[in-house]
Amino acid sequence: MKRAIFPIFQDRARRSPDAPFLHLEDGTTLSYRAAFDRTGQIANLFLARGVKPGDRIAIQAEKGVDTLLTYLASLRIGAVYLPLNTAYTAAEIRFFLGDARPALFLHRAEDEAEMAALCAELGVPERLTLGADGRGTLADGADAQPAPADAHDAHPDDLAAILYTSGTTGRSKGAMLTHGNLASNAATLADYWRFTASDVLLHALPIFHTHGLFVATNTTIVAGSAIRLLPRFDAGKVLQALPGVTVMMGVPTFYTRLLSEPAFTHALVAHVRLFVSGSAPLSAETHKAFQVRTGHAILERYGMTETNMNTSNPYDGDRVPGSVGFPLPGIELQITDPETGAELPQGSVGMIEVRGPNVFKGYWELPEKTREELRQSGFFITGDLGMVDARGYVSIVGRARDLIICGGYNVYPAEVETLLDAIPGVAESAVIGLPHPDMGEGVVAVVQAKDPALSEGRIVAALAGQLARFKQPRRILFLPELPRNTMGKIQKKELRERFARLFLEEHA
Ligand code: MCA
Ligand code: AMP
């Protein structure tokens, strides 16, 4: 078995050059050979800009063909790919560039002035631009390069990517993923989900996260399947594309939004063989409604940035609503006591820990954090609470860390609270996730003010330039006093219960 994604992609391009890799919105198709050649041009451009194996290539750009191919080009030259959410503000980008010290930053053409200044200040040596229309110095530079390019012979333990994931302290941590992590998980998923060269995957996910970048893309490459690439999730465009695909992957919001479309029918998806959901809990209610409407049981799986995919419901057999299925082949899962770390008997609720070739190498330049979460035995402490039933199905029943998942994006309350508490007039704040009919959870800030004139508008304005839109609270509630326990700790549970129906009533 190949131990890295790029050599597999290269093999595909050699053995089935004309096989479709990307079906695009304008009706054109890029074959494996054409995509491979483009990665050669981009790789040559990166090399010409001085990028060496192990160097980081950071990217914040809209989804598109060249955006996706920069990932493969980065693997090709042994660089470390560092994709960043397109919603991040310059203030957030500053942290990532300073922390990861990339050799090259690829950013949106329209951010030229701001990013040029930031890179000059932080000493990022090289920049390229990539606009939403695909134009910019990346395309111009790559067009001028030859397609033949060498491929760096990556060792499975070499870094392939760093994906930042926020922490409960509010400080983002770069999860270091190796070529071996990516290749092993993709091979397992392609097999488990029965991907073949005749599959076409509907791809409406962003490509700066594990789900859209690795689960969707790597699995496709390993099986030699094709991707129907959409720039983002747009229900109308997804409905149009569905008759031409065989598999769809999405976060639960994709599926609840499709169910609210009358045109989403059994007949429309007659050709689809598999719907996969993950990144956030899929409610049993959505699972059942989907089955009634389409005849399909959505296959729910569970993963993390640090581990790729850990568990999956079976391809054949019961796909149990509310469960994330079985540990994937080659991956061990244990439930432990969150306090002592001792393994608990089957049926108990405790900390989910996982071990296998999928588990990352550690956090970028944070050896202590790595030691706290990655045991010497190789088990990674996920921070998710769960249980395994008598048949071996895993369920996630809660989270040990304070985390909100909104439309599949993670928001760490600590990060938002730190900014809120720094606003003049705020005494203290608590950021909580409340049930939201579209996004699963919605972000809400509960603020205790020390200045009676403090308004919602002033808070919103103070956060605007600092935080990505998806992390900003959708509602700001004021309380004269935040509820506390005898130790003085804010009781978020009480707040969540008190305001539980806030978004549900708005959308009723
Ligand atoms: C957009 N907005 C959001 C979100 N997305 N706010 C909160 N949470 C979000 N997820 C903001 C927009 O900036 C906009 O702000 C407003 O919400 C309304 O946007 P709307 O048009 O409704 O949203 P959208 O553009 O349609 O996006 C919703 C979405 C998108 C399609 C659900 O967020 C999405 O594609 N999510 C997928 C995330 C994902 O791939 N996660 C995988 C992580 P305003 O109008 O007010 O300016 S990987 C992972 O978790 C692990 C490893 C795993 O297991 O997969
Ligand atoms: P991330 O930090 O983006 O890697 O998010 C990973 C987290 O998403 C996990 O630790 C879980 O809390 C959550 N998650 C992923 N898939 C599922 C799922 N199918 N059900 C419930 N939670 C999930």
SS3 for 138-159 is HHHHHHCCCCCCCCCCCCCCCE
Which residue of 300, 396, 401, 470 sits with most ligand 2 atoms within 8 Å of its CB, as the best mutation to test the pocket?
A: 396
Q: Answer yes or no: is pLDDT of 1 > 60.
A: no
Averaged pLDDT for residues 416-429: 96
First to last CA, the chain: 52
Task: With respect to residue 93, please indicate whether it lies within any of the assigned structural domains.
Answer: yes
Query: Which atom, in ligand 1's list, is nearest to the CA of 307?
Result: 52
Which residue of 207, 214, 233 sits with most ligand 1 atoms within 8 Å of its CB, as the best mutation to test the pocket?
A: 233
Gap from CA of 90 to ligand 1 centroid (Å): 19
| Any atom of ligand 1 within 6 Å of the Cβ of 210 | yes
CA atoms within 13 A on the CB side of 225: 29
Give the pLDDT of residue 434.
Answer: 97
Cβ pair 25, 230 in contact under 8 A: yes
Beta bridge mates, 311: 302, 327
Residue 171 CA: distances (Å) to CA of 95, 167, 174, 411, 413? 9, 5, 10, 12, 11
CB atoms within 10 A of CB 132: 16
Give the pLDDT of residue 168.
Answer: 66
| Any atom of ligand 1 within 6 Å of the Cβ of 88 | no
Which residues have CB under 8 Å from 17's CB, separation 6+? 31, 32, 33
Q: Are residues 369 and 426 in the same domain?
A: no
CB atoms within 10 A of CB 144: 11
Task: With respect to residue 397, please indicate whether it lies within any of the assigned structural domains.
Answer: yes
Question: Any idea what the Cα angle at residue 473 is, between residues 470 and 478, rounded to 5°?
Answer: 180
For residues 508 and 406, the model is more confident at 406
Gap from CA of 41 to ligand 1 centroid (Å): 32
Cβ pair 359, 306 in contact under 8 A: yes
Task: With respect to residue 257, please indicate whether it lies within any of the assigned structural domains.
Answer: no
Gap from CA of 269 to ligand 2 centroid (Å): 27
Domain boundary among 347, 376, 401: 401
Q: Counting ligands in written order, which one lies closest to the CA of residue 211? A: 1
Q: Answer yes or no: is pLDDT of 99 > 60.
A: yes
Mean pLDDT across the chain, nearest whole number?
96
Over pLDDT 90: what percentage of the chain? Answer: 96
**Residue 320 structural domain:** 274-401
* 39: helix, strand or coil: helix
Q: Are residues 212 and 357 in the same domain?
A: no
Q: Are residues 33 and 84 in the same domain?
A: yes
Q: Are residues 223 and 115 in the same domain?
A: yes
Whichever domain contains 374, its CATH number is 2.30.38.10
Q: Counting ligands in written order, which one lies closest to the CA of residue 325? A: 2
Whichever domain contains 147, its CATH number is 3.40.50.12780
CA 227 to chain centroid, in Å, comes to 18
Q: Are residues 74 and 132 in the same domain?
A: yes
Q: Are residues 134 and 12 in the same domain?
A: yes
Averaged pLDDT for residues 333-350: 97
The residue behind tokens 């310059």 is 90
Give the span between the Cα atoms of 356 and 364, in whole angstroms. 20
Query: Which atom, in ligand 1's list, is nearest to the CA of 303?
Result: 54
pLDDT in tens, 18-63: 999 999 999 999 999 999 999 999 999 999 999 999 999 999 999 9
CB atoms within 10 A of CB 150: 11
Q: Are residues 381 and 453 in the same domain?
A: no
Task: With respect to residue 37, please indicate whether it lies within any of the assigned structural domains.
Answer: yes
Q: Are residues 145 and 227 in the same domain?
A: yes
Q: Are residues 357 and 439 in the same domain?
A: no
Q: Answer yes or no: is pLDDT of 170 > 90.
A: no
Give the pLDDT of residue 392.
Answer: 98
pLDDT in tens, 427-481: 999 999 999 999 999 999 999 999 999 999 999 999 998 999 999 999 999 999 9
| Any atom of ligand 1 within 6 Å of the Cβ of 209 | yes
| Any atom of ligand 1 within 6 Å of the Cβ of 233 | yes
| Any atom of ligand 1 within 6 Å of the Cβ of 408 | yes
Which residue's alpha carbon is nearest to atom 23 within ligand 2? 280
Domain boundary among 352, 372, 401: 401
Q: What is the DSSP string of 71-102?
A: HHHHHHTT-EEEE--TT--HHHHHHHHHHH--
* pLDDT-derived band at 171, boundaries 50, 70, 90: confident
Task: With respect to residue 222, please indicate whether it lies within any of the assigned structural domains.
Answer: yes
| Any atom of ligand 1 within 6 Å of the Cβ of 212 | yes
Q: Are residues 377 and 419 in the same domain?
A: no
Task: With respect to residue 240, please indicate whether it lies within any of the assigned structural domains.
Answer: no
Q: Counting ligands in written order, which one lies closest to the CA of residue 323? A: 2
CA 132 to chain centroid, in Å, comes to 20
Q: Counting ligands in written order, which one lies closest to the CA of residue 406? A: 1
Query: Which atom, in ligand 1's list, is nearest to the CA of 411?
Result: 8
Which residue's alpha carbon is nearest to atom 44 within ligand 1? 469
Query: Which stretches within 163-251 are classed as H helix?
Result: 179-192, 217-223, 235-241
pLDDT in tens, 273-326: 999 999 999 999 999 999 999 999 999 999 999 999 999 999 999 999 999 999
Which residue's alpha carbon is nearest to atom 31 within ligand 1? 233
Task: With respect to residue 260, please indicate whether it lies within any of the assigned structural domains.
Answer: no
Query: Which atom, in ligand 2's list, is nearest to the CA of 165?
Result: 2
Domain boundary among 385, 401, 417: 401
Question: Token digits for 413?
Answer: 């309350």
Which residue of 185, 276, 469 sits with most ligand 1 atoms within 8 Å of its CB, as the best mutation to test the pocket?
A: 469
- Tell which residue, 94, 102, 120, 112, has the closest CA to residue 58: 102
Beta bridge mates, 335: 352
| Any atom of ligand 1 within 6 Å of the Cβ of 407 | yes
Give the span between the Cα atoms of 448 and 495, in whole angstroms. 13
Task: With respect to residue 164, please indicate whether it lies within any of the assigned structural domains.
Answer: yes
Cβ pair 126, 49 in contact under 8 A: yes
Stated pTM of the model: 0.97
Q: Are residues 381 and 356 in the same domain?
A: yes
| Any atom of ligand 1 within 6 Å of the Cβ of 304 | yes
Whichever domain contains 435, its CATH number is 3.30.300.30
Which residue of 304, 319, 352 sits with most ligand 2 atoms within 8 Å of its CB, as the best mutation to test the pocket?
A: 304
Gap from CA of 315 to ligand 2 centroid (Å): 20
| Any atom of ligand 1 within 6 Å of the Cβ of 442 | no
Which residue of 214, 279, 313, 444 sits with most ligand 1 atoms within 8 Å of its CB, as the best mutation to test the pocket?
A: 279
Q: Are residues 407 and 397 in the same domain?
A: no
Query: Which atom, in ligand 2's list, is nearest to the CA of 166?
Result: 2
Beta bridge mates, 333: 354
Which residue's alpha carbon is nearest to atom 47 within ligand 1? 469
Q: Counting ligands in written order, which one lies closest to the CA of residue 384? A: 2
Gap from CA of 328 to ligand 2 centroid (Å): 16
Give the span between the Cα atoms of 335 and 440, in whole angstroms. 26
pLDDT in tens, 240-286: 999 999 999 999 999 999 999 999 999 999 999 999 999 999 999 99
pLDDT in tens, 207-236: 999 999 999 999 999 999 999 999 999 999
Gap from CA of 440 to ligand 1 centroid (Å): 11
Total domains, the chain: 3
